[in-house]
Structure 1
Amino acid sequence: MMALGMFVGLLALILINVPIAVALGAVAMAAMVWHGGMESLLGAAITMFNGATSFPLLAIPLFVLAGAIMNSSSLSRRLIAFASALFGFIKGGLAMVNIGTSLFFAEISGSAVADVAAMGSILVPAMKKKGYPKEFAAAVTSSSATLAIIIPPSIPMILYAVMAEASVVQLFVAGIIPGVLGGGGMMALAYWYARRYNYPVEEVFSWQRVRATFKDAAWAFLLPMIILGGIFGGVVTATEGAALAVLAALFIGGVIYRELNFKHLYESMVEGSIQTAVVMLLVASSALLGHLLTEQQMPQQLAAWIASLTDNKWAVLAILNIFFLVAGLFLHSAAAIILVVPIVMPLVKAVGIDPVHFGLIVTLNLGIGQQTPPVASVLATACSIAKADMWKVTRVNLPFIGVLMALLLLVTYVPAVPMFLVDVFYR
């Protein structure tokens, strides 16, 4: 009965546009008072503080800051120029440039919204100028940016690792093959669109231009190699790698490219602080809710109920996929991870699902949620940049969402796809 009341209360607050973090905290405190009286709130502040001070969570503001600094240093322009040299000779090449650049920028920011903001502000106007429909430009930008939460480093993966007590590094490794497959699938779909609607070729292929643009962007390419190489090689943790990313971004932007000034640094720090505050408030509020749920043994009760329906892990994965797809319609990825993952983990472990494998499934589900209204945070950002109607863009975006859905099914039911590199290097 209490669980139903909490759900109804949370939904009601969200529907009247109360911020999710505030709604979570309010519902948790109301339930605590209902169950244990006013004295149960005495430890609320300590519970929230402890929930938000996990060491792995430090990686989030650091990766966000590194991405913001590199974007202020004209990284986007250099990456786009190199991608244009590689893909511009193909029909519809600018769409492939969009996808290819997102694949690389994902290795720095770890955020789909940051990817859209950085890449979309340049590529969407360029695509519109070349004759691409604004709906198609927004759809390509939005869907390819979702790869930012599949390819390491990924902020949602970091959050999941903290909530599920899983390895951040193994999650990062598990995302590499699915991320590349997703990018290839989207490029193939973009090429099909280009052939069907006669989208333009950007330029003639030239090795000289490829070499020149690669040389111009060489330091940008070195950044993720240093960071991810250090993390995967066991030299640094994910959090230490994030700190290294900030130092490298400052050096490359300020010393090598000489395009980072104090104004840009200030703006990057403000952007990083805002994004971090939103996530950390969610984490702190969810700590209260998680404490209450643990006391009431609600996760165990949910696990027992689903286990009474089936103990087949593939059937359980199908149920959880549907559950997370529905959650993604209404919750941002961070909120969904923080709210739902602690509840379902006892079930995941009980039926023998690998937490790393499940982490990638969760990340993909919530990436799809970023493309599906009504919330669709990444899609909304792309539509705002393109000045396009969200529902018209959604119709064009459906085939790209189909690519993500196919990738989700592949990752779910062929575990070797995400787990191959993990098994080779860590098990």
Structure 2
Amino acid sequence: MIAFLVLVGLILLVMINVPIAVAIGVVSLLGMLATGSFDSVYNMALSVFDGASNFSLLAIPLFILAGALMNTGGISVRLINFVNALIGFVRGGLAMVNVGVSMIFAEISGSSVADVAALGSILIPAMKKRKYTAAFSAAVTSSSASLAVIIPPSLPMIIYGAMADVSISKLFIAGLAAGGIASIGMFIVCYYYAVKYNLPREEAFSLRKLCSSFKEAFWALTLPAIILGGIISGFTTPTEAAGLAVLLALLIGFFIYKELSFSALYKALVESVNGTSVVMLLVATSAVLGLFLTEQEVPQQMASAILGVSDNKYIVLMMLNVMLFVIGMFLHGAAAIILVVPIVMPLITQLGIDPIHFGIILTLNIAIGQQTPPVASVLITASSIAKKDIWSVTKDNVWFIFVLFITLMAVTYIPALTVGMVDLLY
């Protein structure tokens, strides 16, 4: 009963805008005191330290910094110009450019909020000038930004891998197929809207312009190639790949594009420190919550309750998807992972569900949660840039959310889509 009250209290504190890390720490401490777990209270500092000291988590600040450097070093603009030259000539091509650039940006930053903030400030005004509605411009920018948590390197995958003790490299590889399915679906939705509303084409296709933009973007395109190539080949760990991404972003920004100044570097460092501190404090306090839930045997009780309904793993996954969808509407991605993983992992293990498979399911639910109000952090950011309320944007965003849902169902019930690639490579 106390464990249930702790979880309810956590949700209530989050809904009244108490910082999530603070809310997690407070309810965990109160829960320990209420149950008389004084030994655990004495060990809280050690739990916090252990929760944040995992080597794999070092990739988080590095990927956040790499994304910030892309913004200030001229990399984002060159990627947009290249993708525009490649597919902009199609009807509604600027919307497709939005999706295409997000795919590339996702392979460097791993953060949806960074994606929508960086690309939205450029692409949403450009789309509005080309007679796209503000709501649709925000919708396609918001939904395509969520590819950053599906396509590696994904920050939620890093957190999940560290908490569930799962190979982050394998999670990244499994995410490629899910990201590919979602991206294709979004391209189709963009084309549907383009035909329905007679959206404009950009300039006619020009091989000369394509070659010129590719030459300009060549060094920017080396970033995702090196990150993914190094991880898939086993030459680098995700953390080492993140370090390489930062180093290359610095070299490209300072010495090749020469658009990265020391003042811009300082701004990028401050931005990445702010983003990292939020995530790492969440991860640290989550260790305390996990300790409390384990002592109260909440995972075991939940497993027994679900298995009392059905022991068919696909029915259980359906129930977990419903639970994750509801949680995703009210909690940010990192908080959702922190809340769910300690509770459900014993059940996942008991049913013989591949933790890699479940990790991609969890990640897709986070992507959907980023688009579904009331929290919807990515949707809110895109709506703010477009100067539209989130409900107007959601009307145009429904089909993009549907694409993410179809991807989730395909991944849930056809495990070979994700773990098949892992089995092939490993």
TM interval, short-chain normalised? over 0.9
Q: Which runs of 5+ in 2 are unaligned?
A: none
CA drift of 1:284 comes to 1.3
Cα displacement string for residues 102-160 of structure 1 (whole angstroms, at most 9, x for unaligned residues):
01100000000000011100000000011000000000000011111110100000011
1:396 corresponding residue in structure 2: 396
Matched positions, count: 426
1:335 corresponding residue in structure 2: 335
Counterparts of 1:53-202 in structure 2 under 5 Å?
A: 53-202=53-202
Question: In angstroms, what is the RMSD of aligned CA positions?
Answer: 1.0
Do 1:146 and 1:367's aligned partners in 2 also have CA atoms closer than 8 Å?
A: yes
Structure 2 CA distance, aligned partners of 1:180 and 1:280?
29
Do 1:300 and 1:347's aligned partners in 2 also have CA atoms closer than 8 Å?
A: yes
Structure 2 CA distance, aligned partners of 1:128 and 1:53?
45
CA drift of 1:18 comes to 0.9
Cα displacement string for residues 362-398 of structure 1 (whole angstroms, at most 9, x for unaligned residues):
0001100000000000000000000011001001100
CA drift of 1:222 comes to 0.9
Structure 2 CA distance, aligned partners of 1:404 and 1:198?
25
CA drift of 1:174 comes to 0.5
2:383 corresponding residue in structure 1: 383
Counterparts of 1:277-292 in structure 2 under 5 Å?
A: 277-292=277-292
Alignment-mate amino acid for residue 26 of structure 1: V
User: What SS does structure 1 have at the residue aligned with 2:388?
Assistant: coil
Structure 2 CA distance, aligned partners of 1:81 and 1:39?
59
Structure 1 CA distance, aligned partners of 2:101 and 2:227?
18
Identical columns (%): 58
Which has the higher mean CA deviation after the structures are superposed, 233-242 or 374-383?
233-242
Do 2:107 and 2:227's aligned partners in 1 also have CA atoms closer than 8 Å?
A: no
1:18 corresponding residue in structure 2: 18
TM-score calculated relative to the size of structure 2: 0.98
Q: Which runs of 5+ in 1 are unaligned?
A: none
Structure 2 CA distance, aligned partners of 1:137 and 1:163?
36
2:221 corresponding residue in structure 1: 221
Structure 1 CA distance, aligned partners of 2:40 and 2:357?
37
CA drift of 1:39 comes to 5.7
Structure 1 CA distance, aligned partners of 2:265 and 2:96?
31
Alignment-mate amino acid for residue 182 of structure 1: A
1:300 corresponding residue in structure 2: 300
Is the aligned partner of 1:405 residue 2:424? Answer: no
Cα displacement string for residues 8-61 of structure 1 (whole angstroms, at most 9, x for unaligned residues):
322332232211111110000001111126564222111111111111000000
2:344 corresponding residue in structure 1: 344
Which has the higher mean CA deviation after the structures are superposed, 277-286 or 32-41?
32-41
2:420 corresponding residue in structure 1: 420
Which has the higher mean CA deviation after the structures are superposed, 197-206 or 9-18?
9-18
Structure 1 CA distance, aligned partners of 2:110 and 2:15?
29
1:326 corresponding residue in structure 2: 326
User: What SS does structure 2 have at the residue aligned with 1:217?
Assistant: helix
CA drift of 1:255 comes to 1.3
Do 1:110 and 1:155's aligned partners in 2 also have CA atoms closer than 8 Å?
A: yes
Alignment-mate amino acid for residue 5 of structure 2: G
Alignment-mate amino acid for residue 246 of structure 2: V
CA drift of 1:229 comes to 1.1
Do 1:92 and 1:201's aligned partners in 2 also have CA atoms closer than 8 Å?
A: yes
User: What SS does structure 2 have at the residue aligned with 1:175?
Assistant: helix
Do 1:33 and 1:40's aligned partners in 2 also have CA atoms closer than 8 Å?
A: no
